[in-house]
């Protein structure tokens, strides 16, 4: 079959290929942060969660470990229920919550959803070992679609969206996402969302630009993916990583930077893409919230705040809402 240059409709492109082409045709160039999480990226993210600078994981771990029983009580379940987790990742923190739930008399089923099959496999192995009594069925896929499938039953549901995953969405998208959750939940169902809170800007800055360069490697993995999956002829020494926290907006923004003017051939896209000296590729938004913003979001999207659960430093909140 002939492949015509620039006629991308003729080429069978992967989702990643399509989105890279689309994101690179905009200004500034961008790639969705969901592409961080191939199996290698999910592994690097586990290393990020282990870093002392990345306080988010320990804070949420502490909340779920110390307040799991209170969270269960606040959910007020009175029959068999279901816990669904979006973007479960390796689920280490969630294990703490589920451990508390298992000590209660009511039975429940756990459904973790993640786009990385590697992360799900790691999670399944861990769950079998650490919580042998847990009933679970994991789902690999885009969580918008999986969520819709799950909404077809009458089982009371607690939906988990932990780990500050919500921070990846810009203000306009966050409203749509929470409305989507609301529309897939029944009256009385609960949503527990992890929000990273505004705090000393230095603390936040270090969490997203660590001295060992693990966050850098997490971003550079996108270049690996372009090389491996899109046949991009990239010299990685011609790219750098930069991240920036704006304490007023609460936005951490991460970028790859083309350190010189260059033209890169993407073999599988049959295209050259050019980069100016110091041109940015925007890779991620990690937004930080305050309580006022969180309560406003709940009200705007059809939820009622039940209770906020904080860690002892007040760095992070798992906010329980009711539909
Ligand atoms: C998985 C989206 C919560 O934004 O804090 C960690 C990803 N990026 N370090 C975050 C991430 C850089 C993380 N989330």
Residue 187 CB coordination number (10 Å) = 6
More confident residue, 119 or 213: 213
- Percent of the chain residues topping a pLDDT of 70: 96
Cα-to-centroid distance, 104 and ligand 1 (Å): 32
Which residue pairs, CB below 8 angstroms and at least 24 apart, start in 93-97?
93/57, 93/60, 93/61, 93/64, 93/162, 93/163, 94/64, 94/160, 94/162, 95/126, 95/127, 95/130, 95/131, 96/61, 96/64, 96/65, 96/68, 97/64, 97/68, 97/71, 97/160
Q: Is the pLDDT of residue 218 over 80?
A: yes
Residue 3 binned pLDDT confidence (cut-offs 50, 70, 90): very low
Q: Is the pLDDT of residue 221 over 70?
A: yes
pLDDT of residue 122: 85
pLDDT of residue 144: 77
pLDDT of residue 11: 59
- Is the C-beta atom of 116 inside 6 A of ligand 1? no
pLDDT tens readout for residues 20-46: 999 999 999 999 999 998 889 989 999
Q: Which residue out of 116, 167, 173 has the highest number of ligand 1 atoms within 8 Å of its CB and is therefore the one to mutate? A: 167
pLDDT of residue 185: 94
- Is the C-beta atom of 219 inside 6 A of ligand 1? no
Residue 258 binned pLDDT confidence (cut-offs 50, 70, 90): very high
pLDDT of residue 1: 36
pLDDT tens readout for residues 62-109: 999 999 999 999 999 999 999 999 987 667 789 999 999 999 999 999
Looking at the whole model, is its pTM more than 0.90? yes
Residue 8 binned pLDDT confidence (cut-offs 50, 70, 90): very low
Q: Is the pLDDT of residue 7 over 50?
A: no
ipTM above 0.90, yes or no: yes
Q: Is the pLDDT of residue 9 over 80?
A: no
Cα-to-centroid distance, 165 and ligand 1 (Å): 7
pLDDT of residue 90: 66
Q: Is the pLDDT of residue 116 over 80?
A: no
- Is the C-beta atom of 193 inside 6 A of ligand 1? no
Q: What are phi and psi of 71, to 5 degrees?
A: -65, -45
- Is the C-beta atom of 250 inside 6 A of ligand 1? no
């Amino acid at each position: 079959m002939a492949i015509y240059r620039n006629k991308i409709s003729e080429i069978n492109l992967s989702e990643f290929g399509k989105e890279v082409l689309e994101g690179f045709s905009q200004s500034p160039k961008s790639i969705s942060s969901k592409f961080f999480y191939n199996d290698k990226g999910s592994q690097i993210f586990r290393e990020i969660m282990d870093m002392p600078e990345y306080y988010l994981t320990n804070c949420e771990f502490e909340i779920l470990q110390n307040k799991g029983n209170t969270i269960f009580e606040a959910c007020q379940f009175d029959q068999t229920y279901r816990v669904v987790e979006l973007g479960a990742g390796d689920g280490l923190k969630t294990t703490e919550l589920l451990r508390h739930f298992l000590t209660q008399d009511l039975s429940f089923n756990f459904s973790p959803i993640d786009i990385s099959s590697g992360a799900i496999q790691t999670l399944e192995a861990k769950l079998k070992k650490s919580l042998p009594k847990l009933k679970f069925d994991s789902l690999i896929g885009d969580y918008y679609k999986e969520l819709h499938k799950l909404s077809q039953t009458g089982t009371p549901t607690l939906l988990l969206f932990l780990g500050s995953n919500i921070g990846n969405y810009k203000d306009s998208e966050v409203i749509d996402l929470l409305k989507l959750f609301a529309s897939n939940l029944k009256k009385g169902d609960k949503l527990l969302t992890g929000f990273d809170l505004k705090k000393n800007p230095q603390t936040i800055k270090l969490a997203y630009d660590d001295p060992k360069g693990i966050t850098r490697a997490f971003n550079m993995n996108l270049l690996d993916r372009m090389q491996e999956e899109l046949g991009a002829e990239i010299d990685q020494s011609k790219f750098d990583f930069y991240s920036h926290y704006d304490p007023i907006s609460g936005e951490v923004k991460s970028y790859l930077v083309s350190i010189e003017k260059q033209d890169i051939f993407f073999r599988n896209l049959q295209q050259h893409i050019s980069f100016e000296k110091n041109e940015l590729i925007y890779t991620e938004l990690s937004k930080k919230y305050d309580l006022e913003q969180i309560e406003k979001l709940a009200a705007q999207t059809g939820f009622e705040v039940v209770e906020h659960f904080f860690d002892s430093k007040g760095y992070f909140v798992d906010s329980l809402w009711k539909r």
